Amino acid sequence: MKTNFWKALGATSVLLLMGSVNAKAQDDPKPVPPGAPVDAPAGGGQRQGGGGQRGGQGRVSLSTVPVLYMKSELKLTDEQATKITAIQTKAQDEIKAMRAAITPGGDPMTRREANMKVQEANKKTDDEIKAVLNEDQTKMLPDFMKETQALVGAGLPATTLGDLKLTPEQKKKIVELTDKMQADLKDLPRAEYRAKQRELRKDLSEKAMALMTDEQKETLKKNASGMKAKRVKAGAKETE
């Protein structure tokens, strides 16, 4: 059972580290600072595609942070949570339609334009969600986004954050680990960067998992199983 858990969790971590839509590699890729907004990629370049909730160095945005987690951390009212849920649902339907229009192997310019539209839609959704927050919640937002980015970057799926019920100490430790990883990657030359990045991401994920309680590991295990079932279902639909 323990071996199966780590296999399932390992599969999830691989997906998390892939990112949603990859752009042409930068000449000298740089690590993404925790909490970087979806439309502000590292290195100053224009990243293709919107910010996803699959971790690694994928950007975290308000459009993809689960409302349950946002409610507990930003102290949303029921009315705010309902409004934000509606905003996210509408945006997800729109973005799903945009991505469905991207033809695999199709014209690069068409794909680039579609990805830009997804990015713009994510930013618009973020702005709409910010408008729902009050002054105190808005002040909390930068720290909240940095922390959320660090958790997701450490391999914890955004969809599980509300259920994991991480303690302040766990979150603080993961942020510290993520900051250290970013510092270790900061000045590496291009030739060494990617290999070292993979090594440090794996180390970060393992250290983050070591901080989890048995109950939290069970939550992650169930999430991994759910993701696998969705992939199988999606694959079956494609072959119909």
Q: Where are the chain's structural domains?
A: 2-239
Measured between alpha carbons, how far is residue 12 from residues 7, 110, 183, 224, 225 in Å? Answer: 9, 30, 25, 6, 9
What is this structure's pTM? Answer: 0.68
Does the pLDDT of residue 124 top 80, yes or no?
yes
Does the pLDDT of residue 52 top 60, yes or no?
no
pLDDT band at 229 (very low <50, low <70, confident <90, very high): confident
Considering the chain, what is the average pLDDT of its residues?
78
| Token pair recorded at residue 45 | 């370049």
What is residue 110's predicted lDDT score, i.e. its pLDDT?
Answer: 79
Does the pLDDT of residue 82 top 70, yes or no?
yes
More confident residue, 230 or 210: 210
Does the pLDDT of residue 103 top 50, yes or no?
yes
CB-CB neighbours of 228 under 10 Å: 14
- Measured distance CA(31)–CA(192) in Å, rounded: 13
Does the pLDDT of residue 224 top 90, yes or no?
no
